[in-house]
């Protein structure tokens, strides 16, 4: 018998002990959010939430240290937000953005004015960074992950790199993985279990059910959901993709409610999967997402209609894999 979200939340609170002030209800809600967002089992969602709490605690500690050394500034700082941008999307000089990066190499500075210089990667691309000596920023270590806030793009010799100013911040993010990545290619397959599906409504289960039967909970009244399990192929490699409800609605241009109507009209829920297949198989997409097991959980998808027919045909003809339903279904399917 798997644990309920309530039990998982209680475990988390227990693990952190009484030193940390956590609300049962809030922790439960966070777990449910993760389940909904990533379509993962409750125990994986619990791990994610635990990780995030750990991370926010270490950030709080750092911020406290900072404010002690800096003493109070005149105006209270507004709640800081972190809007992650990918290195591969850098295309403007002197633009300020936030990045989540891993330091992959540190170089010997060639000038006294340089505090640190080296290479950073974020799963989408690699670029150079330079921290000037006069800036009060923490020392970076190789192999560690950091959040860069308000880092500045610098175009030199046709190459972009990142530099920093007094308005930039760098925080150590030991619990974050730099694994977001993107892929461009042709959608070559829609896998079974796409379209209009039903999930087990039991607390934290979210398993996709067939014929009102959940493997863990037996006969249940399922709840409708919408998703796409697809395979994208760039001619060199293939990647399994998962579009959650929101991404599916965005890509397909119909909502869950409309999908239900399609199924009702056709007296067949499979019609939705067929419609998805008709719409996107063979099309060229640029997708970005988070890696999870063998899947890329899609966070951003855009069809590239500008790609010319010849290129498209070349990729299509190169894609030889026989795409069948993936055997290992680690995201509960
Ligand atoms: Zn169930």
Domain definitions of the chain by residue range: 5-70, 87-178, 181-318
Q: List the structure tokens of 164.
A: 């920093």
Strand duo 159-163 + 126-132: pairing: parallel
Region at 73 (left for phi over 0; alpha for psi -120 to 50; beta for the rest): beta
Give the C-alpha separation, 14 to 3, whole Å.
15
pTM (predicted TM-score): 0.50
Q: Which residue has the tokens 């700082």?
A: 77
54 alpha carbon to ligand 1 midpoint, in Å?
A: 29
40 alpha carbon to ligand 1 midpoint, in Å?
A: 13
The closest alpha carbon to 289, from 247, 249, 227, 255, belongs to 247
Please, are residues 88 and 51 in contact by the beta-carbon 8 Å criterion? no
104 alpha carbon to ligand 1 midpoint, in Å?
A: 42
Tally Cβ neighbours within 10 Å of residue 125. 15
Give the C-alpha separation, 318 to 131, whole Å.
44
Give the C-alpha separation, 297 to 256, whole Å.
19
- CATH architecture, domain defined by 87-178: Beta Barrel (2.40)
Q: List the structure tokens of 322.
A: 């026989």
206 alpha carbon to ligand 1 midpoint, in Å?
A: 6
101 alpha carbon to ligand 1 midpoint, in Å?
A: 38
Q: How far is CA 277 from CA 14, 204, 268, in A?
A: 46, 30, 15
Which residues is 286 bridged to in the sheet? Answer: 184, 302
- CATH architecture, domain defined by 181-318: Beta Barrel (2.40)
Give the C-alpha separation, 273 to 257, whole Å.
15
Interior angle at CA 283, CA 325 and CA 333, nearest 5: 25
221 alpha carbon to ligand 1 midpoint, in Å?
A: 10
Please, are residues 257 and 247 in contact by the beta-carbon 8 Å criterion? no
Mean pLDDT by 10 residues, the chain (333 residues): 84 86 89 78 84 77 56 46 86 93 86 91 85 94 90 91 95 75 89 93 84 90 94 90 94 96 94 96 89 80 84 68 41 41
Q: List the structure tokens of 228.
A: 């796409």
pLDDT of residue 309: 79
The closest alpha carbon to 194, from 247, 239, 237, belongs to 247
Q: Which residue has the tokens 């860069």?
A: 148
The closest alpha carbon to 88, from 123, 128, 129, 130, belongs to 123
pLDDT of residue 227: 95
Q: Which residues surround ligand 1, an ion (CB under 5 A)?
A: 200, 202, 205, 207, 214, 216-217
43 alpha carbon to ligand 1 midpoint, in Å?
A: 13
Give the C-alpha separation, 56 to 62, whole Å.
10
10 alpha carbon to ligand 1 midpoint, in Å?
A: 20
87-178 with 181-318: one CATH topology? yes
213 alpha carbon to ligand 1 midpoint, in Å?
A: 8
Give the C-alpha separation, 43 to 70, whole Å.
41
Please, are residues 297 and 242 in contact by the beta-carbon 8 Å criterion? yes
300 alpha carbon to ligand 1 midpoint, in Å?
A: 29
């Amino acid at each position: 018998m798997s644990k309920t979200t309530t039990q998982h939340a209680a475990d988390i609170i227990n693990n952190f002990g009484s030193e940390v002030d956590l609300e049962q209800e809030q922790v439960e809600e966070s777990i449910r959010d993760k389940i909904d967002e990533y379509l993962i089992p409750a125990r994986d969602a619990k791990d994610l939430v635990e990780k995030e709490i750990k991370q926010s605690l270490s950030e709080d500690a750092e911020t406290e240290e900072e404010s002690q050394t800096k003493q109070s500034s005149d105006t209270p700082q507004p709640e800081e937000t972190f809007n992650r941008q990918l290195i591969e999307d850098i295309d403007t000089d002197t633009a300020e953005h936030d990045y989540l990066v891993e330091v992959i190499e540190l170089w010997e500075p060639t000038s006294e004015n340089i505090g640190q210089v080296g290479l950073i990667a974020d799963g989408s691309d690699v670029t150079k960074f330079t921290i000037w000596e006069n800036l009060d920023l923490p020392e970076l270590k190789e192999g560690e992950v950091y959040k860069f806030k308000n880092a500045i793009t610098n175009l030199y010799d046709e190459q972009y790199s990142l530099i920093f100013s007094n308005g930039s911040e760098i925080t150590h993010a030991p619990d974050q993985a730099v694994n977001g990545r993107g892929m461009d290619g042709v959608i070559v397959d829609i896998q079974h279990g796409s379209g209009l599906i039903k999930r087990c409504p039991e607390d934290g289960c979210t398993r996709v059910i067939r014929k009102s039967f959940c493997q863990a909970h037996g006969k249940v009244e399922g709840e409708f959901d919408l998703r796409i399990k697809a395979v994208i192929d760039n001619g060199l490699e293939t990647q399994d993709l998962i579009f959650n409800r929101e991404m599916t609605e965005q890509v397909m241009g119909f909502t869950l409610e409309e999908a239900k109507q399609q199924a009702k009209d056709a007296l067949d829920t499979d019609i939705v999967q067929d419609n998805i297949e008709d719409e996107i198989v063979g099309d060229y997409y640029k997708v970005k997402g988070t890696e999870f097991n063998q899947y890329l959980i899609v966070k951003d998808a855009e069809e590239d209609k500008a790609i010319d027919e010849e290129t498209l045909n070349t990729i299509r003809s190169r894609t030889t894999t026989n795409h069948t339903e993936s055997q290992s279904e680690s995201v509960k399917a």
